[in-house]
Amino acid sequence: MRRPAHVLAKGIAITSGTITSAATIMVLVFAAFVTIPFAFIQELGLGLAVAVLLDATVVRSVLLPSTMTLLGDWNWWLPPFLRWLPRVTIEGDPEMEPQPEPVPVRADD
C-alpha cells in the first residue's frame, strides 16, 4: 500500500495555506506579548512566537515531507493495540470506487 510522492505533494499543497495563515496569526499575537511590561509574559510570548514559527516553517515544510517520503509504508503502521479504531479515509476505499460502465459496441461500426 505504498503512497506515491505526488500524494504527499498534493496533501502539503492543499494544507499549506491554512497552516501558514494560522501560524502567521499566532506568531503575531504571541509577538505582541513582548510589548507587555511583565518579563514573564514577554518571555512566554517570544518563546511561543519562535516555537510556532519554527514548527510552521522547518517542521511542516521540511521535516514532515522528507520523513514521510523516507518512511514510506511505515507512516501508516498502526500498533496492534489500536486495531479497534475505525478506519476512516477521505479518499475512500480504492476497492469500493465505482467502475465505469462499459460502452456497448454496435456490430455495424
Average pLDDT estimate for 53-71:
86
pLDDT band of 45, cuts 50, 70, 90: very high
Stated length of the chain: 109
Bigger pLDDT: 64 or 23? 23
Average pLDDT estimate for 35-42:
94
Confidence check: pLDDT of 96 > 60:
no
Q: How many CB atoms lie within 10 A of CB 49?
A: 20
Closest CA to 6 of 84, 68, 49, 63: 68
Q: What is the model's pTM?
A: 0.61
